[in-house]
Amino acid sequence: MSKKHTKKKKRKTRSEMSTFFFRLVQITMLCIFISVCFLIYQTGYVQTVIQLYQEAQEIIETSSAADFQTDQQGEVYDTDGNTIALLRNDRNIIYLSSEEIPDNVKAAFVSIEDKRFYRHSGFDLFGIFRSVGSLISSGSVSQGGSTITQQLARNIYLTHTVSWERKVEEIFIAIALEKIYTKDEILEFYINNIYFGNGYYGIEAASQGYFSKSVSELSLSETAFLCAIVNNPTYYDPLTNKDNTLSRRDRILESMLDDGVIEETEYAAAVVETITLNTSSPQYTRTWAHTYIYYCATQALMEATGEDYDTCSELLYTGGYRIYTSIDMGAQTLLQNTVDETLKDYNTMDTNGTYALQAAAVTIDNDTGLVTAIVGGRSQDDISVDYNRAYLSFRQPGSSIKPLIVYTPALERGYTASSTVIDSKEEDGPSNSNGSYSGAITLRTAVEQSKNTVAYKLLRELTPEVGLSYLLDMNFSSIEEEDYTLAAALGGLTTGVSTLEMTAAYATLANEGVYRLPTCVTMITDMDGNIIALPDQDEHQVYESDAAHEMTDILEGVLTRGTAKGNAIENMPCAGKTGTTNDNLDGWFIGYTAWYTTGVWVGFDSPRSDSSLSGASYPLAIWNSYMTELHEDLESKELND
């Protein structure tokens, strides 16, 4: 055999051997791969991944933009459009649309958090490799492995528990999110929901919290400073670790420069700029008006959404609503100060630490029927204003009920101010408060002198069913079956009435007999100005106009000749009625001008007798002092014009 042939045979043998070993290696690797897959399957990992994928799909199927717009901070405005309260919950987001977010904010986050944001589809394998490479080369990570979309998925739909399952589901959700939302929408959602430490979620809340100004007013350096916090809100906390925050700010600015989104001159100026924090955000005093506003707003949301009270109450603090009200903070402060000053000498305390003698007062604008001011108690440090007596406390109204269920209904049925009535004691009837009886008198005199005997007889003639029907027609909420007796003529009601209800009823007399459901909320909008609720005042005729006019004319005499004599407002026509319950447990005065109706109640939370308490004492004094100052700059206007 030739040498040439021998060499060919050897080469063939080597080639065959190489092929054999290569195939052997392939088969071995395939066996190993199959074995690993089998082991993984046996341990349940594949099933877990499939389950996580299915869970992610279920989440996305119900996803909507509303998922990313919850927990927003709302605002409350007074009648002049001034902010008087912020509606917050634990997250306290002030939501900005994509157009409202400055370009520098978007650029900073993309540059430092996710450079390939506009190129990947929710998950970025290159980003993970880059993060690992950075860790190996420099010992620190300048950019995380999670994309902005992954971070959004984690913040909204998942927990922050570290596990491979959570990471896999996060990736599945992120990929799905990219299919239904644009990049601009995802970035908007992310910037509004990311945590900036110290209770601030979203860039606008953080800007107002740390700098006391809107993000639109921030410099480039301040913007990068805020964006630095989100990587680790504890380590980069600007209140406790400001140097750390500044260091990361510089890295963000450098990254933005490298990416070409800022110029060299901008970078040079921003990196040396001194950052001065200003955490003195506006403080809003919580008053009795606030609790009533929240009550009215919740009722309005119930009407608009059909949801129950608890759900709407929660929505109030998470929906980012703008609540517009009729509350006049000047009148509110004046009413509170007048109550406090009038009762300042009565300092006895209850066992719970509150003043024993309390008060409630409400003012309604007669032009609109809306509440202008509402006070639910005396001012006191460390005492909650949640229990607002003006609309939550129900007490017997005494003689202040007479015009509502006796005299105005009687005027509708043929009686006049000059009609003759008999003031005499009946065996089973009530006594007059002063124990004297005048015989034949006019109906006007009976009202001015608050004759119990006359009111009792007239209600007997009308029947309690007729008299109380007027209260029901004005939404009095606590009329009981046991109230249908002649004692109702003198305010003898089982549960009683609230100050708000009584004030709205007298405002009905001032409004020619037309009742308007009291509220202080005029409109609720979302953050974009879209109307959510326009409260219905349920306006309807309760008393005949002529009867309301004549009742007003009679009630003017109460302040000039009757039980409130000497307490008329100077140069301002006014009408009103006192009310005192048995044993001096409660005192009332409700009165009105052409401008405003104000009702005042004074008494004890746990009813007790006090000889100094009557409708003509504390309540009338509060009413006169407050209404006099409230009308100081208003032109004189006749009632019944």
Stated as kind and residue range, the H or E segment containing 586 is strand 586-592
CATH code where residue 461 lies: 3.40.710.10
Q: Would you give the distance in Å from CA 517 to the centre of its chain?
A: 21
Triad 449, 605, 331: Cα angle to 5°? 70
Stated as kind and residue range, the H or E segment containing 588 is strand 586-592
| Of the candidate ranges 315-319, 481-485, 610-614, the one whose mean pLDDT is the lowest | 315-319
Other beta carbons within 10 Å of 341 = 13
**Boundary of a domain, candidates 249, 271, 293:** 271
Q: What is the pLDDT of residues 11-55, one digit of tens each?
A: 555 555 656 665 666 666 655 655 544 544 455 556 666 676 666
Evaluated on CA atoms 475, 477, 483, 486, the torsion sign reads: negative
Provide the b/e sequence for 303-323 (b: ≥16 CB within 10 Å): eeeeeeeeebbebbbbbbbbb
Other beta carbons within 10 Å of 367 = 10
Other beta carbons within 10 Å of 48 = 15
User: Strand, helix or coil at 598?
Assistant: strand
Answer yes or no: is 351 within a domain: no
621's tokens:
């004094």
Instruction: Assess contact for 493 and 397: CB atoms under 8 A.
Output: yes
Nearest of 554, 551, 581, 558 to residue 449 by alpha carbon: 558
Instruction: Assess contact for 191 and 109: CB atoms under 8 A.
Output: yes
Other beta carbons within 10 Å of 30 = 10
Q: What is the pLDDT of residues 257-309, one digit of tens each?
A: 999 999 999 999 999 999 999 987 777 888 999 999 999 999 999 999 999 99
* Enclosing domain of residue 624: 371-531+543-630
Answer yes or no: is 450 within a domain: yes
538's tokens:
């349920």
Q: Tell me, yes or no, whether 581 and 441 share the same domain.
A: yes
Q: Tell me, yes or no, whether 265 and 400 share the same domain.
A: no
| Of the candidate ranges 380-384, 386-390, 430-434, 556-560, the one whose mean pLDDT is the lowest | 380-384
Q: What's 584's DSSP letter?
A: G
Pairing mode, if any, of strands 531-533 and 521-525?
antiparallel
Can you tell me the distance from the alpha carbon of 325 to that of 513, in angstroms, rounded to the nearest whole number? 25
Can you tell me the distance from the alpha carbon of 170 to that of 52, in angstroms, rounded to the nearest whole number? 9
Can you tell me the distance from the alpha carbon of 213 to that of 591, in angstroms, rounded to the nearest whole number? 45
The set of residues, in sequence order, having a beta carbon less than 8 Å from that of 474 and lying 6+ positions away, is 404, 501, 504, 505, 508, 515, 542
Answer yes or no: is 280 within a domain: no
Please state the rounded mean pLDDT for residues 227-231: 95
Nearest of 300, 303, 457, 373 to residue 626 by alpha carbon: 373
Q: Tell me, yes or no, whether 108 and 231 share the same domain.
A: yes
Please state the rounded mean pLDDT for residues 188-197: 92
Answer yes or no: is 454 within a domain: yes
CATH code where residue 202 lies: 1.10.3810.10
Q: Tell me, yes or no, whether 249 and 379 share the same domain.
A: no
**Boundary of a domain, candidates 219, 236, 271:** 271
Q: Tell me, yes or no, whether 264 and 379 share the same domain.
A: no
Quote the pLDDT of residue 380: 92
Phi-psi region of 398 (alpha: psi -120 to 50; beta: other; left: phi over 0): left
Here the contacts of 566-575 (C-beta below 8 Å, separation 24 or greater) are 567/620, 567/623, 567/624, 569/593, 569/624, 569/627, 569/628, 569/631, 570/628, 571/636, 572/631, 572/634, 572/636, 572/637, 573/636, 573/637, 573/638, 573/639, 574/627, 574/639, 575/509, 575/510, 575/639
Count of residues making up the chain = 641
Q: Tell me, yes or no, whether 257 and 375 share the same domain.
A: no
Q: Tell me, yes or no, whether 261 and 114 share the same domain.
A: yes
Can you tell me the distance from the alpha carbon of 151 to that of 157, in angstroms, rounded to the nearest whole number? 10
Answer yes or no: is 134 within a domain: yes
Amino acid symbol at 22: F
Q: What is the pLDDT of residues 558-605, one digit of tens each?
A: 999 999 999 999 999 999 999 999 999 999 999 999 999 999 999 999
Quote the pLDDT of residue 142: 44
Instruction: Assess contact for 152 and 193: CB atoms under 8 A.
Output: yes
Quote the pLDDT of residue 164: 63
Nearest of 481, 501, 506 to residue 493 by alpha carbon: 481
Q: What's 93's DSSP letter?
A: B
Answer yes or no: is 444 within a domain: yes
End-to-end CA distance of the chain: 138
Whether residue 131 is predicted with pLDDT greater than 50 in this model: the reply is no
Quote the pLDDT of residue 418: 98
Please state the rounded mean pLDDT for residues 328-356: 95
How many structural domains are present in the chain?
2
Instruction: Kindly list the strands in the beta sheet with 586-592, ordered across the sheet, starting from the edge strand earlier in the chain.
Output: 371-375, 357-365, 596-604, 586-592, 575-580
Evaluated on CA atoms 595, 445, 394, 613, the torsion sign reads: positive
Nearest of 581, 636, 570 to residue 610 by alpha carbon: 581
| Of the candidate ranges 64-68, 104-108, 531-535, the one whose mean pLDDT is the lowest | 64-68
Please state the rounded mean pLDDT for residues 316-333: 95
Answer yes or no: is 424 within a domain: yes
Question: In the predicted model, what is the mean pLDDT of the chain?
Answer: 89
Can you tell me the distance from the alpha carbon of 246 to that of 92, in angstroms, rounded to the nearest whole number? 25
To the nearest 10°, the Cα dihedral for 589, 381, 387, 591?
10
Bridge partners, residue 147, by sequence? none
Quote the pLDDT of residue 140: 44
Give 391-428 as a DSSP string. HH--B--GGGGHIIIIIHHHHHTT--TT-EEEE---TT
Please state the rounded mean pLDDT for residues 342-349: 94
Q: What's 577's DSSP letter?
A: E
Whether residue 138 is predicted with pLDDT greater than 70 in this model: the reply is no
Task: Report which of residues 534 and 39 the model is more confident about.
Answer: 534
Instruction: Assess contact for 394 and 387: CB atoms under 8 A.
Output: no
Instruction: Assess contact for 591 and 506: CB atoms under 8 A.
Output: yes
Quote the pLDDT of residue 14: 56
User: Strand, helix or coil at 335?
Assistant: helix
Quote the pLDDT of residue 139: 47
Question: Could you give phi then psi for residue 141, rounded to 5 degrees?
Answer: -105, 115
Triad 285, 377, 570: Cα angle to 5°? 95
Amino acid symbol at 629: E
Q: Tell me, yes or no, whether 266 and 377 share the same domain.
A: no
Burial (CB < 10 A; 0-12, 13-18, 19+), residue 289, is buried
Q: What is the pLDDT of residues 383-425, one digit of tens each?
A: 888 899 999 999 999 999 999 999 999 999 999 999 999 999 9
Bridge partners, residue 355, by sequence? 349
Can you tell me the distance from the alpha carbon of 70 to that of 254, in angstroms, rounded to the nearest whole number? 34
Q: Tell me, yes or no, whether 254 and 114 share the same domain.
A: yes
Give 128-184 as a DSSP string. HHHHHHHHHHHSS-SS-SS-HHHHHHHHHHS-----HHHHHHHHHHHHHHHHHS-HH
Answer yes or no: is 240 within a domain: yes
Quote the pLDDT of residue 591: 98
Instruction: Assess contact for 232 and 247: CB atoms under 8 A.
Output: no
Stated as kind and residue range, the H or E segment containing 22 is helix 3-43
**Boundary of a domain, candidates 271, 303, 338:** 271
Catalytic machinery residues: 113, 399
